[in-house]
Structures are given as structure tokens and as C-alpha cells.
Amino acid sequence: MPTIVSVDDSTVPGEGSSRLLLLVSSDNKHIVVEEDIMSRSRFISKQVEGFEATSQRHAILLPFSSFVLNKVIEYCSHYRGYYLLEDDPDAAPPGRSPVREWDQEFLDVDRNMLLRIIKAAHYLEIKSLVGSCARAIADMIRGKTTEEMREILGVENDFTPEEEHSPSSKCTG
Amino acid sequence: MPMSLHPDLTTTNERNVKGKFTPTGGHESLRTALMSIQEREGLPAELAYTLLASLPRSSLVILQRRIVPLLQLDVVGLLPTEVSLLIFSYLSWKTLLCCSLVSRRWRRLADDYSLWKRLCSAKGWIWKEPSIAYRGVKYPIIEPPKHDTDDEGMGDEEDEVMMEPPSIPLDDSAFASMDVSDDDLSFFTPSPTSTAGPSNTPHSPPARSAPSMRPMAWTRHSAPAVIPSQASHLKPNYKLLHFSRTRLQHRFQSGSYRRLTLPMMGQPDLHANTIYCLQLYTYPGTGTQVLFTGSKDRTVKEWDLRSGTLLRTLKGVHVGSVLSICVFGGYLTSAGSDSKVVMWDLADNKGVKVFCDHADSVLCVRFDEKRLVSCSKDRTVRTYLMSDLKPQHVLRGHRAAVNAVSISSTYIVSASGDRSMRLWDAETGDLLRSFENQHSRGIASLDLDFPMVLSGSSDKHIRLFNMETQQGWSTSPEFDTQASIPLPAVATPIFDEDDGDGDAPLAVCNNCGGAMAVADTSTARPQSTECARKSRHQCAHGDLVRNVALGPDFVVSGSYDLTVKVWDRRTGRLIADLVGGHTGRIFCVGFDCTKIVSCGEDQKICLWDFGYGMDTSFIKP
């Protein structure tokens, strides 16, 4: 298992004004990334605030693989310095904004990967990325029949015949 | 340091194969090896393929069985609930209904309160605490009315002699269906959600077999109190609300209704003459909906819509016909042929103010929290401030009687027999714009949802147009700015525009009621589909359009031709033609999301109920 790496501020070579962060993935990959790239992540931001309070900088351990982490970093790097309304913790919850074209291409991956990205984005609290993934998944379901949904997503029908056809299945919300 | 599988992937795979396959040591190591390559290199498809190709056929078959579930990943079910709900929040109601049949987990997610609440609020559909439902009385058979042809509520047109009113055939057979059978009374029976039985309430319901017997509760002459049923303590069921509203919309679209008639004859309480005006009103405190009517018999009456019984009569002030009423915020104003406008306090059940400024019949009155506006045969429009009920402006300029007026918070629109509509600044009283030649004859009726204005005229046509762009539709080809835009060939469900799903297949939704909501055609009237093929010009009224009402989705018009028509607000397509209810000219119409009410010369109030057989107690009109 990876040991907690304590990183002293002075040992991290500063590049410009942005400080560096050490992220450790579940497969024990050490990834150094500029702090402001990851500022989109509420989770990372809160960690950094914690560092500032204790003036101790640690590596941040993340429960997903470097493969996924790199994908998330790619996303954050692309939007480095951009303001995205969804990621503004002070902004009102956004309405239905148009899909960003780059995100669509970025998320053109297999379902396994999509699932891992959205889980990672959820863990890191990157709302814009969670939203884009959610939309990509919604696009897979939209307009499909129940049978098609089961087939596409490999969901098992675990209803008993009574449950499936019971009138109580309507409007029980 | 040993290479270990990251936990999220491990759980994913294991949950996905759902215990059908127990990994053996050998396979596990191969999997780990492949996985580590994948992790390190990204996706070396070529390498993986080469490896696979070297395996024997039997192994490939096993591998294929294992790979398939990997490709078909239940991305929705495996996520935290909040994320799954976010995914579902991008879906339409139709897709959600399909989702709720996929699996138990999916059903819990797709039925979630927050999703349906959002869908409802996007459409402006509000949950109402259900109030107690009264058990209805059986309506008596209606006798043919006395025939009186004078419509005092319409001023003469400019430079034109009033048309001879058409002779109206009286046909007794038309009344045969008015006697509502017991089966039809399902609408009136207490809703299943109202678990508080009738015996728990001081308002004991009247026996259905004795319609003339007035129970104690209905002799009170004040706003009826309502005891909230037990259902009011329940959390709003927004899925049910969405389902019911969608179903109602579809019934409007297909013209599927049950017609009921409020008992107006043979009882001392009932209007003794032509009913000129009506308005549906919901008491803000209790949520109880009632109907107010004003008649040539100089009275205003309030009706309980559930039982069809009279709640009270406002009388003794008007010395002429009541031509127009307006109810708002606990007050009612009535305008009469005696040139008076009377304001009534509904809580105290008495007149609070009489305005006697007009020189001739007051044809229409409207008010809101800011001002009261009345218009008259004397060709003027008068405004009063609600703060002190003092006169504010006299709006002059019309060259004939001002038949109708409509208000918004900042504008007043008036329509006159001089064929013009005028837009006034409510604050200053300035004439902002005059719309001449909107109709080929005088304008009889008006409704406003600024900037959209709806008008009906002696030229037999209705017209809806935007006062800012002057664009809109009309049943008259002469005034139709959208005539070149072809109507959809079939009845498209207008309420699905915002779904963005295209045509979600609905056949699979039989169990969840989704298909019911859009295929409830069992009682649809055939004429509505016929009308869908005709252009709006071919469907126009056959006589003067005496009253119009503008709603968020539909337009309703009532005419001297004895019919009430329902139009699609957006396209002007005729949706439903309500015939057979009236035997006299129709003078007023009103509607909400469950019903249309109409009244007129035949002294009847027709209730065209689109919510028959449904629990509508939680629907806020």
C-alpha cells in the first residue's frame, strides 16, 4: 500500500504562481499536478484549505486508478481558468445549459469508463463533469423502451410478475 | 509494491456478473494481467486482440460470456442515488415511465419525488391539498327554457343595425341526456384520498334521491368552510399529479368529456332568466372551487360545483340585468344594465360600494389588486383605484359601445363595436395603441395574457395575436397572419414539445399508465379528429362569438351558434367542438384544467367535465 507522503512546501518546485499537488491513485501512481488545475474539484479545494490551516501539505489519496485520474485531470486541464457555472458553489443551481461540444467528444468512451469517470467526478465533487457524464448516460436511455434499456445496460428484470403488472406500479411515487 | 486492482473496478465487475460466475485462480490472473496492461497503457486493443486470438475456441466462448456483461453495464443502478437522479433529471416523463419498469432499483429512482416535482413545476402544475369531497345530488331533468332574444350584454355596432337574432329551434330530445345516471356520478363521489368519511364532518351530504332537500350546510350565506381530509397530511404525489394533468390534457385534445348541467329550473333558488356571465373561483384560504353566475334576473349566484347546489345569492342592489362579473381576492364586482357597478365583500356577504358613473349599461367589469376597470355602452372605459375606490381615469375614443375590457398589471385593453381594440397604459390612462380593423365587424369579446390578446367578433371569427409583433392566428383567412403556416396533419400532442425525446415508444408503458395517458381515446368524440384535418378557417363559428377565454394551452370560445369550441392556443387548430349542451345562444364561457363551463340564454349552466372518473382533488386549477 502507498505510504502517506509528506511533501514539504519548499521541496515542491513552484512553477509560476501555482503550487503543486501530489495525487496518489488507487494503483499507487504518484501524479503531480498544478493546484489551480484541480481547483475545480471541491474535494481537492477543501483538502488544500486543510493544508493551509495546518501548514502541512500531504499527498491526496484517491480511491480510483491513475487511468481514471488522468482522464479527470485531462478534463480539468482543458477547462483550466474557465468559469463554469455548475462548478461555482455560490451560484444558483444552473438550468439546462447546452451541452459542451468538447465534453461530448471527451466522454465518447465505453460504459465502464463512463461509469468510472462519473464516480470519480462525484468523489472529487466536480459538478460540471458529473453533469456532462449524467447527460451522456441519459442520452443512452432517452427514447428507449423498457426492454431496450435492459438490453443496452444489461439490467436484470428483478420484478416478480405480480409486481411488474400490478396496478400499484403506476403512480406510487 | 504489488499491483492491486483498484476497488471500484473490482466491485463493478463482480456486481455486474451477479454471482453467475465465480472467478477461478487461472482466469483471475489472466484478468489481472489484462487489467494491468489496460491500466498502464490505456487500451491496447491490438495486444488484447492478439492475446485473445491465441486462445482456443472454447475459452473464447467463455470469455465472450464474461465480456458481454462488461459492455452492458448498469451505469444507472451502480451509481450513488443522487447521481442516478441527476441522470434521470435529463429525461422526459415518458422515458421515466419506461425506466420505472426496468428493475426495482430503477423504479425507486424513476419514481423519485424530486424528479416529478421538477417536471410538474416546469409546466406550472401545482399540488393542492385535497379538501373534502361532497357527495353529489342527482340532477333533475331540465325543462325547456323560456325564449328571450335580447342580449343586453352586447352593445350595438358602429353604423350598423343590430342583426336579427336567429330563431333557435328548441328540441326536447337534446335534454334527454342531461339526466345524469348514477354511474356518471363517480366524479362526485368522495375521492379515495379523502379518507375522512362523510360522517366525520358537520357537512353531511344530501341524499341523492332528494335533490330539493337543502342540507343545513348549504343554507349558510358565507364562504364555505372546508375541513382538510387526511390526505392533506400526505406528501404531495407529483407523479400522480403529472399523470393526471397529462391525462386531462389528452382528454381536452381528444374532446373526451362528460357533460353535466347545473339544475336551473323548477326550483326557487335558480336563476329565473338568461345567464349573462360566469366565473370559476377558488377560495384562497380553503382551496374550494365555486362558480359565480350573473343573470338577467338581477342576481348573482354562487354554486358548489361538486354537488351542483346553490351556495348563496347576491341580490337587492342591481335594478337591471347583471351583465358581467369579476371575482378576485375575496371580492366580487358585478356590472349591470342599470349602469351600476357593485362591489361585494364575499366574506361579509354584502355590497361595499356602488359605482354609478356610467351613462348607459355597463357591459364588462374587471379588477385586480390595483384597479377596477369597467366599460359601457356609453362608449367609455372607466378606471378606479382599489386603494380608495375613487375614479382614476375615463378612457374615451371608441366610436361605439365598448363591449369588453381586459386588464394586466400595467395595461388595459378594450374592445368595441367599432371593430377596434385599444391598448391603454393603466397607470396614466394614455392610449398607447389602437388596433383598427382586427375584425370585419364589431368585437364582442376579449381576453388578455399580455402581449397575447384574444378576441371574438360579430364576424363569427376569433383571433389571437401578439400586440407587440402583430402576429397570430385567426379563424378568418382575411386576418390570419399565420395562414401560410400549414397545420400539423394530425393531432400532435402539443404538451410534449418540451420533452425533447421525439417519439418515445409508449406501447411498453401499458402497466404504468403512461400509454393510458396518451391513448385514452375510448370516449373521444369523432368530430375532434375530423376537425384536426380541417383548417381552422373551415371550423369557424357559425355566428357571433360572444365570449372567449385564453388559457396556457387552450383557447375556448362560446358563440350564438350554440356551440363551445376549444382551440389549440399555439396553432389555432380546433381541438374540440362542444355541441348539444345548450339550446340557446351562449353568452359566457370559463375553464380550467379539468372543465369548461358555459351559460347563456337557455338559463342553464353546462359543465363539460374532462376529469370524469378521475380524482382531481389535488389539482390546483
Closest CA to B277 of B350, B344, B347, B366: B366
B32 contact residues in A (CB cutoff 8 A): none
B511 contact residues in A (CB cutoff 8 A): 164-165, 169-170
Question: Across residues B570-590, what is the average pLDDT?
Answer: 90
User: B301, B313 in Cβ contact below 8 A?
Assistant: yes
Gap between the Cα atoms of B609 and B597, Å rounded: 8
Preceding omega of B23 cis (within 30 degrees of 0): no
With CB atoms and an 8 Å threshold, state whether B70 touches A151.
Answer: no
What's the pLDDT band for B209 if we cut at 50, 70, 90? very low
For chain B, say whether A27 makes contact (Cβ under 8 Å). Answer: yes
With CB atoms and an 8 Å threshold, state whether A158 touches B240.
Answer: no
Task: Give the residue on B whose Cα is nearest the Cα of A64.
Answer: B6
Gap between the Cα atoms of B311 and B291, Å rounded: 10
pLDDT in tens, B360-370: 999 999 999 99
pLDDT at B345 over 60: yes
Question: Across residues B312-320, what is the average pLDDT?
Answer: 90
Closest CA to B604 of B590, B585, B591: B585
Gap between the Cα atoms of B373 and B588, Å rounded: 19
Residue A6 Cα, gap to closest chain B Cα (Å)? 19
Closest CA to A99 of A76, A121, A129, A79: A129
For chain B, say whether A156 makes contact (Cβ under 8 Å). Answer: yes
pLDDT of residue A51: 84
Task: Give the residue on A whose Cα is nearest the Cα of B112.
Answer: A173
Q: Left (φ > 0), alpha (ψ -120 to 50) or beta: where does B188 sit?
A: alpha
User: B302, B290 in Cβ contact below 8 A?
Assistant: yes
Cell of B317: 342592489
pLDDT of residue B528: 44
β partners of residue B279 = B292
Q: What is the DSSP letter of B352?
A: E
CA torsion through residues A109, A111, A113, A117, sign:
positive
pLDDT of residue B276: 94
What's the pLDDT band for A68 if we cut at 50, 70, 90? very high
pLDDT of residue B433: 92
Of A112, A147, A158, the CB nearest to B104: A158
The answer to whether the B81-122 and B239-609 domains have the same CATH topology is no
pLDDT in tens, A2-58: 434 444 444 444 444 568 889 999 999 999 999 888 888 999 999 888 888 877 778
For chain B, say whether A170 makes contact (Cβ under 8 Å). Answer: yes
Residue A100 Cα, gap to closest chain B Cα (Å)? 15
Gap between the Cα atoms of B278 and B589, Å rounded: 7
Beta strands of B177-238 (E only): which ranges? none
pLDDT of residue B15: 40
Query: What global pTM score does this model have?
Result: 0.68
A6-155: what fold? Potassium Channel Kv1.1; Chain A (3.30.710)
pLDDT at B529 over 90: no
Gap between the Cα atoms of B47 and B202, Å rounded: 82
With CB atoms and an 8 Å threshold, state whether A130 touches B83.
Answer: yes
Q: Indicate the domain borders of chain B.
A: 7-71, 81-122, 239-609
Residue B531 Cα, gap to closest chain A Cα (Å)? 30
Of B3, B91, B238, the CB nearest to A27: B3
Q: Return the CATH number of B239-609, one of 2.130.10.10, 3.90.70.10, 3.30.460.10, 3.50.50.60.
A: 2.130.10.10
Q: Left (φ > 0), alpha (ψ -120 to 50) or beta: where does B117 sit?
A: alpha
pLDDT of residue A93: 61
Residue scoring higher pLDDT (B615 or B155) = B615
Burial classification of residue A29, based on how many CB atoms lie within 10 Å of its CB (0-12 exposed, 13-18 middle, 19 or more buried): middle
A144 contact residues in B (CB cutoff 8 A): 95, 98, 505
For chain B, say whether A149 makes contact (Cβ under 8 Å). Answer: yes
Residue scoring higher pLDDT (B148 or B12) = B148
Question: Across residues B103-107, what is the average pLDDT?
Answer: 88
Helix (H, G, I), strand (E, B) or coil at B609: strand
Task: Give the residue on B whose Cα is nearest the Cα of A99.
Answer: B90
- When scoring A128, A146, A152 by the number of chain B Cβ atoms within 10 A, the one with the most, hence best to mutate, is A146
- Helix B45-53 and helix B25-41: axis angle, to 10°? 150
pLDDT at A144 over 50: yes
What's the pLDDT band for B545 if we cut at 50, 70, 90? very high
For chain A, say whether B56 makes contact (Cβ under 8 Å). Answer: no
Q: What are the b/e assignments for B34-65, b being 16+ CB within 10 Å?
A: ebeebbeeeeeeeeeeeeeeeeeeeeeeeeee
pLDDT of residue B484: 59
Helix (H, G, I), strand (E, B) or coil at A12: coil
pLDDT > 90: percent of chain A = 24
For the CA atoms of B226, B227, B228, B231, what is the dihedral angle to 10 degrees? -120
Of A64, A134, A146, the CB nearest to B508: A146
pLDDT at B17 over 90: no
CA distances, B146 to each of A152, B13, B584 (Å): 68, 81, 10
Cell of A95: 438550468
pLDDT > 70: percent of chain B = 66
pLDDT in tens, B594-607: 999 999 998 888 99
Q: Indicate the domain borders of chain A.
A: 6-155
B100 contact residues in A (CB cutoff 8 A): 169
pLDDT at B517 over 60: no
Gap between the Cα atoms of B101 and B490, Å rounded: 30
B504 contact residues in A (CB cutoff 8 A): 142-143
Of A1, A28, A115, the CB nearest to B73: A115
With CB atoms and an 8 Å threshold, state whether B75 touches A153.
Answer: yes
With CB atoms and an 8 Å threshold, state whether B80 touches A135.
Answer: no
Residue scoring higher pLDDT (B617 or B96) = B96
For chain B, say whether A111 makes contact (Cβ under 8 Å). Answer: yes
Q: What are the b/e assignments for B215-234, b being 16+ CB within 10 Å?
A: bebbeeeebbebeebebbee
pLDDT of residue B267: 61
What's the pLDDT band for B377 if we cut at 50, 70, 90? very high
Question: Across residues B312-321, what is the average pLDDT?
Answer: 90
pLDDT of residue B129: 77
pLDDT in tens, B3-13: 444 444 333 34
pLDDT at B297 over 50: yes
With CB atoms and an 8 Å threshold, state whether A65 touches B504.
Answer: no
Question: Across residues B537-543, what is the average pLDDT?
Answer: 86
Question: Across residues B440-452, what is the average pLDDT?
Answer: 91
Of A144-158, B64-78, B308-322, B496-510, highest mean pLDDT: B308-322
With CB atoms and an 8 Å threshold, state whether A66 touches B503.
Answer: no
Q: Kindly report the number of other CB atoms within 10 A of residue B111's CB atom.
A: 23
For chain B, say whether A171 makes contact (Cβ under 8 Å). Answer: yes
Amino acid at A28: N
Residue scoring higher pLDDT (A154 or A96) = A154
B510 contact residues in A (CB cutoff 8 A): none
Determine whether domain B81-122 maps to CATH 1.10.287.
no
Closest CA to B357 of B390, B329, B310, B387: B390
Residue A51 Cα, gap to closest chain B Cα (Å)? 26
pLDDT in tens, B223-269: 333 444 444 446 788 899 999 999 998 898 888 888 888 765 556 67
CA torsion through residues A57, A63, A65, A70, sign:
negative
For chain A, say whether B96 makes contact (Cβ under 8 Å). Answer: no
Helix (H, G, I), strand (E, B) or coil at B402: strand
With CB atoms and an 8 Å threshold, state whether A112 touches B70.
Answer: yes
For chain A, say whether B501 makes contact (Cβ under 8 Å). Answer: yes
Of B1, B74, B105, the CB nearest to A28: B1
Task: Give the residue on A whose Cα is nearest the Cα of B111.
Answer: A173
Question: Across residues B15-27, what is the average pLDDT?
Answer: 42
- When scoring A141, A150, A152, A160 by the number of chain B Cβ atoms within 10 A, the one with the most, hence best to mutate, is A141
pLDDT of residue B73: 63
The residue whose grid cell reads 442520452 is A139
Gap between the Cα atoms of A5 and A23, Å rounded: 10
What's the pLDDT band for B189 if we cut at 50, 70, 90? very low
Residue scoring higher pLDDT (B356 or B34) = B356
